[in-house]
A = this chain, B = another copy of it.
Amino acid sequence: MAGSARMSDVAELAGVSIMTVSRCLSGNTNVSLETRQRVLAAVAQLRYQRNEVARSLREQRSRQIGIVVPYLFDPFFAICAHAISSVAKQHSYSVVLATSNEDPQAEFEEASRMVRRNVDGLILIPAHNVFDSSLMLAREFEGLPIVTLDRPIDGSQFDSLLVDNEFGAELATKHLIALGHRRIAYIGLSNNLFTGLPSKVVIVAGELESSHMRVRALLSERQPPTAFFCGNNLVTRHVLHSLNSLGIHPPSPVALVGFDDFETADLIRPGITVVRQPVELLGRAAAEVLFSRLSGANRTPSGKRTILPVELLVRGSCGENLTSSKAQKVSIR
């Protein structure tokens, strides 16, 4: 780092100018074989590595992409980040990562910091917005290739990779309704999932911290819900903990469906019925969309939304009469 070799050191050792060294390292063909060998030997001898900071400044691109996710302790986001990081590696790109903690202001600041670092593009799992419009629409991000993941940004031209929330919610609630449930409580951070659902559904927006109280409150209503539908896997796990501490184990007296599968969903008995999303694929696809734009394929932001399919994994938590180890897939669309 500090005492590391520069290109001029290599040039001196090889008895050439630094341009020749630069050419060798760039794979430029206009170097004689003999010179190239001499240069590469010098590179090896000095263990020379190009300074990417200088290169970025000169080339006006950094070969870095940024990722902003709400949290890393939600496995959904972590797996997305991992997939993105893998794709970046294949492209010899670095990944700058930041967490927004679901705070739009923090998201804006982290994304801005990345712009200052000249990231070539950005993959964003947007924080749940509380303002009129997303701060990501600000001028500082104009011209920067941005792909959003899991949630779109209204009014933006960002490409986005989504799952079929609507269909997933439909699968979940129809499943519950088919089993006789009429009072279904949705618990989640927003009501995004609820476009176009049967009207019997009770929508409850809530924060993670208050899920325990909220669950108690719901269950002590005069006509308590007979089923919960949880908006993501953090919420599912919170609610399960709340229920557990009340000695309640779905499906009875209350059924439960979660949006987003989680590792141990089938180890809980009865297993937890969930809407499964293709998480790894989602991250990978987002990265590929971004790199396709970076490679110049489609320079202009199209605002294209790609929707990946979900499926219902029926385990036992809604009262199915199945062995818990054998999930049944329903309606892959």
Chain A residues numbered 112-133 whose CB sits less than 8 Å from any CB in chain B = 112-118
CA distance A57 to B57 in the complex (A): 8
Whole-angstrom distance from the CB of A135 to the nearest CB of chain B?
13
Residues of B contacting A262 in the complex (Cβ-Cβ under 8 angstroms): 263-264
| CB <8 Å contact, B56 and A116 | no
Binds B, one of A27-35, A89-97, A170-178: A89-97
Q: Is A18 an interface residue (CB 8 A)?
A: no
Residues of chain B contacted by A7 (CB below 8 angstroms): none
Interface size on A, residues (CB 8 A): 63
User: Which one of B53, B82, B264 lies within 8 Å of A56 (CB-CB)?
Assistant: B53
Which of A190-198, A204-212, A238-246, A305-313 is found at the contact surface with chain B?
Answer: A238-246
A200 interface residue (CB < 8 Å to B)? no
Are A86 and B99 in contact (CB-based, < 8 A)? yes
Neighbouring B residues of A139 by C-beta, 8 Å:
47
Q: Provide the bound-state CA to CA distance between A269 and B271, in Å.
A: 11
The answer to whether the Cβ of A4 comes within 8 Å of any Cβ in the partner chain is: yes
Docked Cα-Cα span, A47 to B53, in Å, equals 24
Cα distance, A130 to B62, chains bound together (Å): 33
- In angstroms, how far is the closest chain B Cβ from the Cβ of A72? 4
CA distance A95 to B95 in the complex (A): 8
Complex contacts, A57 vs chain B, CB 8 Å: 51, 53-54, 57
**Partner-contacting stretch, out of A73-81, A150-158, A218-226:** A73-81
Main secondary structure of the interface of A (DSSP, over half): mixed
Tell me the smallest distance from the CB of A294 to a CB of chain B, in Å: 13
Q: Is the CB of B89 within 8 A of A78?
A: no
Which of B110, B116, B249 lies in contact with A89, CB distance below 8 A? B110
A99–B79 Cα distance when bound, in Å, is: 12
Counting CB contacts under 8 A, is A180 at the interface? no
Contacts of A86 in B (CB 8 A): 99
Q: Is the CB of B78 within 8 A of A72?
A: yes
In the assembled complex, the Cα of A95 lies from the Cα of B249 at a distance in Å of 41
- The answer to the question of A320 belonging to the interface, with a C-beta cut-off of 8 Å to chain B, is no
Contacts of A264 in B (CB 8 A): 237, 240, 262-264, 267-268
A42 at the interface (CB under 8 A from B): no
Q: List 5 A-B contacts (CB under 8 A).
A: A85-B99, A94-B113, A241-B266, A247-B325, A263-B264
12 more contacts with CB within 8 A, not counting A51-B57, A53-B57, A244-B266, are A1-B118, A47-B139, A49-B115, A78-B78, A89-B98, A89-B110, A94-B114, A237-B264, A237-B267, A249-B269, A262-B263, A264-B264
